[in-house]
Structure 1
Amino acid sequence: MKKRLISIGLVAALLLSMTACGNKKTEEENASKSELKDVTVILDYVPNTNHTGLYAAKDLGYYEDAGLNVTIIEPTDGVTATLVAAGKGDFGISYQEDVTYALASKDPLPIKAIATIIQHNTSGFASIASKHIQTPKAFENKVYAGWGAPSEEAVIHAVMNAAGADFSKLTMVTADGADYSTLDNKIDLMWMFWAWDGIAATRQGLDLNYIELRSLDKRLDYYTPVIIANTDTIENDPELVQAFMDATTKGYEYAIDNPAASAEILHKYADTYDLEMLKESQEYLAKKYSEDSEVWGLMKDSVWDGYTDFMVENGLIDKSIPAAECYTNEFIKKK
């Protein structure tokens, strides 16, 4: 009995010791997490393969390794650029076009692009192949469905004019969503991003003609999307921006090297999407993220200046904005 009591006592002591160690480990983990810097990233839209690098960096621990506790949210009560400018988020996903608009307004927003997610504009005009719409000249007497933005009309007007087409002969309607099936009957043309809409449409069995925007005017090869930050954050907390960008770069480099695995990571956070569709989209974008660039995220004055000139020429903004005011490469580490 004495031996049994001693054994029970030893087991109890061991359990207490293990519990204490476990509690200490949990406390250390909690303390470690509490030391992480909270960072909020506001997307431009629902999660998709444009954002995979962000989710890879989060899921693989790159942000935590950089001392960051990153929360990725969708925009709710306003556009991303406005929210970042107002300090509602540390970083955001936007577009070169929106950044230029924001800086050219009467009350410029304090934002700046710090990386481009994709090197080239992969958007374009899609139509059913059997309709033989292969140039903007063929837009005449057709029905185009879009989102109704002034820049959208300006771009279509410009490319039709350059092709010798009469813009007044195009009927433009506002679409409620990406119902690709309408291309087969009610609608002749849509402006879409191939990595998402184009792949989704072809997976539905649609045979499409696709005219890339950048093939019509080199100035339309602008950056979309881009990562933005508040200029106050850039100027006063460059260490935070650098830590975020280093981890984000690793996330996109992972997506480039591992498209299938990174699609599976994205699927964890956006499980309503078909996984095979995500994999096909990711395979396409893996080749586009850093296309023609030595590193991911790097931007050029010529791209910013080109689209700014287009916007001024077509009356979208009243004045040119110098590229240096729109973006910075200071947080991109060159190889």
Structure 2
Amino acid sequence: MTNRRTNRFGRLSGMLRKAVAVAAALGLAGTLAACGSSNDADSSANGLKKVTFMLSWAPDTNHIGVYVAKNKGYFKDAGLDVDIVAVAQAGAEQAVNNGAADFALSNMTNTADYSVKGAKIKQVMQVQQKPSAIWCALASNTEIKSPKDLDGKTFATFGSNESDAVVRRMIQFDGGKGEFDKVTAGTNTFQTLSSGKADFGGFYATWEGVQADMYGPKLNCFTEPDYGVPGNADSIGIITSDKTIKNDPELVKKFVQASQKGYEYAYSNPDDAAKILVKEAPDANLKEDFVKKSMHVIVDGQYWGDPAKIKSGEFVLGTNDFVETQKYFDFLSEAHTYTDSKGNTVDTTPQAKDVATNEFLGK
């Protein structure tokens, strides 16, 4: 199976690159070999069950609920000793599929993509309920005022067919032809744009968007729902393997519900959660004011759901949304972006109900 980045935009920009370098220096492979998987039935000295959760990129507010759950003792209360490890070179999805990690952050789009390639994984909790992707040019580039102006321009890309399909749809929806050049973004899309090698690229409003607002460079951005891209492409959540679900459903339930509590706490207490992330992930060198701003963007934008409905019980935080994700799957299928493990185009459309489940959520 070929690796596909969990983050459509690589999420290795700016302040995050050092965190990835540090993780590599710490010797991730040795860490994974040592901690193994829950299938080994390992227990720590204090009687808690050892569990491995893998990041999908450097620590950020998408992962924050897991860090909060560990810090607040929610995992411990559930009888779990959770080890949070850096993402493997092959990707978090591969690690979960191969049993190198019990759980990981991913999204339903990737779960479907890997399933088409033969992986046996499922999303067991969806944190993000609406798209946060933004497609941006530098604000100083006055030639670009709307997506149709991206025609003939250069896209800083990580090589994803998915991203190409999204950009093409946005341009065409705005009245353009959908034709653009491409250049590999490397690890820093901001730098690629600032250097003049590309005219536009993809970011996330809840992270790089905050970075641009606080530290620059200023961006001019467009969102997918405004320009014809259907559904939710950013259904970020927690995945595990079909094998773990079959062999130890109680473990899955405990981990999911403890994580759920962590995200609920973070949504209700964004400033304190930000402090926890900064403390629990020191190697990432995150700035507390930056993480706080990211959390407030998430809360104010209701990216994890309507807080009032969560408080009333009308909506359960973490619920997998099969409707909006399926709309996006159908869009990708129509654009012929799905490929098998050998890179051949696959015309069968993945079904959201087959790659995710809500059975382990607390109500």
TM-score by length of 2: 0.78
In the alignment, the residues of structure 1 paired with residue 44 and residue 60 of structure 2 have an alpha-carbon distance, to the nearest angstrom, of 31
In the alignment, the residues of structure 2 paired with residue 304 and residue 220 of structure 1 have an alpha-carbon distance, to the nearest angstrom, of 6
The equivalent of 2:10 in structure 1 is none
Q: Which sections of structure 2, spanning at least 5 residues, go unmatched?
A: 1-42, 310-314, 339-346
| Aligned CA distance change for structure 1 residues 201 and 223 (closer, same or farther; 3 Å) | closer
The equivalent of 1:144 in structure 2 is 155
The equivalent of 2:292 in structure 1 is 279
SS of equivalent residue, structure 1 residue 131: coil
The equivalent of 1:9 in structure 2 is none
Q: Is the 8 A contact 2:274 2:295 kept in 1?
A: yes
The equivalent of 1:233 in structure 2 is 244
Across the aligned residues of Structure 1 and Structure 2, the Cα RMSD in angstroms comes to: 2.0
Highest Rg: 1 or 2?
A: 1
In the alignment, the residues of structure 2 paired with residue 32 and residue 141 of structure 1 have an alpha-carbon distance, to the nearest angstrom, of 57
Of 182, 190, 201, the match for 1:180: 190
Deviation digits for residues 274-312 of structure 1, max 9, x if unmatched?
221111112212343422461211122212321111111
The equivalent of 1:332 in structure 2 is 361
Matched, 1:78 2:90: yes
Of 289, 297, 318, the match for 1:297: 318
How many residues are matched? 301
Q: Which sections of structure 1, spanning at least 5 residues, go unmatched?
A: 1-30
Deviation digits for residues 40-78 of structure 1, max 9, x if unmatched?
011110111111110000011110011000001112241
Identity, in percent, stands at 32
Q: Is the 8 A contact 2:150 2:171 kept in 1?
A: yes
Q: Is the 8 A contact 1:100 1:326 kept in 2?
A: yes
In the alignment, the residues of structure 2 paired with residue 306 and residue 290 of structure 1 have an alpha-carbon distance, to the nearest angstrom, of 19
Name the aligned partner's letter for residue 124 of structure 2.
I
In the alignment, the residues of structure 2 paired with residue 128 and residue 277 of structure 1 have an alpha-carbon distance, to the nearest angstrom, of 20
In the alignment, the residues of structure 1 paired with residue 225 and residue 356 of structure 2 have an alpha-carbon distance, to the nearest angstrom, of 21
| Aligned CA distance change for structure 1 residues 237 and 261 (closer, same or farther; 3 Å) | same
Q: Is the 8 A contact 1:44 1:79 kept in 2?
A: yes
In the alignment, the residues of structure 2 paired with residue 205 and residue 323 of structure 1 have an alpha-carbon distance, to the nearest angstrom, of 37
| Aligned CA distance change for structure 1 residues 323 and 221 (closer, same or farther; 3 Å) | closer
Matched, 1:171 2:181: yes
Name the aligned partner's letter for residue 349 of structure 2.
S
SS of equivalent residue, structure 1 residue 195: coil
Of 198, 210, 226, the match for 1:199: 210
In the alignment, the residues of structure 2 paired with residue 250 and residue 234 of structure 1 have an alpha-carbon distance, to the nearest angstrom, of 20
In the alignment, the residues of structure 2 paired with residue 155 and residue 205 of structure 1 have an alpha-carbon distance, to the nearest angstrom, of 25
Name the aligned partner's letter for residue 300 of structure 1.
D
| Aligned CA distance change for structure 1 residues 223 and 206 (closer, same or farther; 3 Å) | closer
The equivalent of 2:334 in structure 1 is 313
TM-score by length of 1: 0.84
Between Structure 1 and Structure 2, the one with more helix by share is 1
In the alignment, the residues of structure 1 paired with residue 337 and residue 268 of structure 2 have an alpha-carbon distance, to the nearest angstrom, of 39
